[in-house]
Amino acid sequence: MDKLVILIPTYNEAVSIVELLEKLSSFRSSSQYLFDAVVIDDNSPDKTAEIVDRMAISWVQILRRPGKGGLGAAYRAGFDKVLADSQYSHIVTMDADGSHRVEDLPAMFAAIKTGKSIVLGTRWMPGGSVVNWPKSRQLLSKCGTLYAKLALGINLNDLTGGFRIYSAELLKALNLQDMNATGYCFQIEMAMAADLTGAVATQVPITFVERINGVSKMSKAIVVEALTQTSRWGLMRRLRPNADKLHYVK
Ligand SMILES: Nc1nc2c(ncn2[C@@H]2O[C@H](COP(=O)(O)OP(=O)(O)OP(=O)(O)O)[C@@H](O)[C@H]2O)c(=O)[nH]1
Ligand SMILES: [Mg+2]
C-alpha cells in the first residue's frame, strides 16, 4: 500500500471540521499509515473553507466548489482530483460531522486489500453500532439498507453508509462521470458499481455517532431520491443485467 488520502465533504461544518482535523492530526502523528486529506467544500456560508485554510495543516488541501451541489457531486470532484495524483493507492471517504470516528480508522486501514477493493464501515453487523440516534432514524437506515440489499441483490449490510475506503484501481475502473446520484443514494450507487467490477468488498464494524455540532443535510428529497433510484436500478438489473455493467464499468 502506498499513501492514502481522506476525502471529507463539507457544507457548513465550521465547528466539526476543526475537531475532526485535530483528531486526524494526532492519529496521523502516531500512526504507521501515511495519509493526506482533502476537504471538499461547497462554498459554505459559515466559512468552513477559510477556517480550514487558517489551520494551515501541511497535509490538508481544500477543494473549493462554487456552491452546494450535493454529496455525490462533491465526492466525484474529489475523486477526479486525487486520482490524478498517482501517489495515492487508496481513497478514504469520511463525513466531517464526527459521525465517522477516527478511532475506527485503524481497523479499516488494516482491512485494505490490493487490486480492485472496497472497505465498508458497517453499522449493521456484529460489533457495529449507532450512538444517539432515535429508534425512528435507526429504523429508516436499516430499512433503507435492507431494501437496497434486496432490490440490488448485493449482500452487504450498510449500503448507505459513507465511511469507506476505495482502492484507486477500483475507482479508475469506473465511469465516475456517468454517475449522477446526489444524496446518500450516491453511496448505494458506488457500492453497486463496485460490485459490478467484481471488487473485493470487506465489511468492518464501526460505531456511528450522531453529530453534536452543525445541522444535518438529510432531507425528504434525499430519501425519495434514494428510494426511486434504488428501485430503478433494481429493475434495470433484472431486466437488462448487462446494461448497468456497460454503464458503470470501463
Ligand atoms: N461539499 C458538500 N458536502 C456536503 C453536502 N451535503 C452534505 N455534505 C457533507 O457530507 C457529510 C454528510 O452530510 P450530513 O449532513 O451529515 O448527512 P448525513 O450524514 O447523511 O445525515 P445525518 O446523519 O443527519 O448527519 C457532511 O460532512 C456534510 O457536511 C454538499 O452538498 N456538498
Ligand atoms: Mg451526518
- Return the CATH number at 140: 3.90.550.10
Local structure of 224: helix, strand or coil = helix
Identify the CA nearest to 15 among candidates 44, 57, 36, 58.
Answer: 44
The CA distance from 183 to 20, in Å, is 22
pTM value is 0.96
Write out the residue range of the structural domain in which residue 22 sits: 3-248
127: Cβ–Cβ under 8 A, 6 or more apart, which residues? 205
Q: Which ligand sits closest to the CA of 131?
A: 1
Per-residue pLDDT at 1? 66
Q: What is the pLDDT of residues 96-151, one digit of tens each?
A: 999 999 999 999 999 999 999 999 999 999 999 999 999 998 998 999 899 999 99
Neighbours of ion ligand 2 (CB under 5 A): 95, 97, 99
Q: Give yes or no for residue 218 CB within 6 A of ligand 1.
A: yes
Domain total of the chain? 1
Atom 11 of ligand 1 has which residue's CA nearest to it? Answer: 95
Residue type, 7: L
CB 133 within 8 A of CB 161: no
Q: Give yes or no for residue 41 CB within 6 A of ligand 1.
A: yes
211-240 burial, b at 16+ Cβ within 10 Å, e below that, comes to beebeebeeeebeebbeebbeebbeebeee
Q: Give yes or no for residue 74 CB within 6 A of ligand 1.
A: yes
Q: What is the pLDDT of residues 50-73, one digit of tens each?
A: 999 999 999 999 999 999 999 999
Q: Ligand 1 centre from 10 Cα, in Å?
A: 7
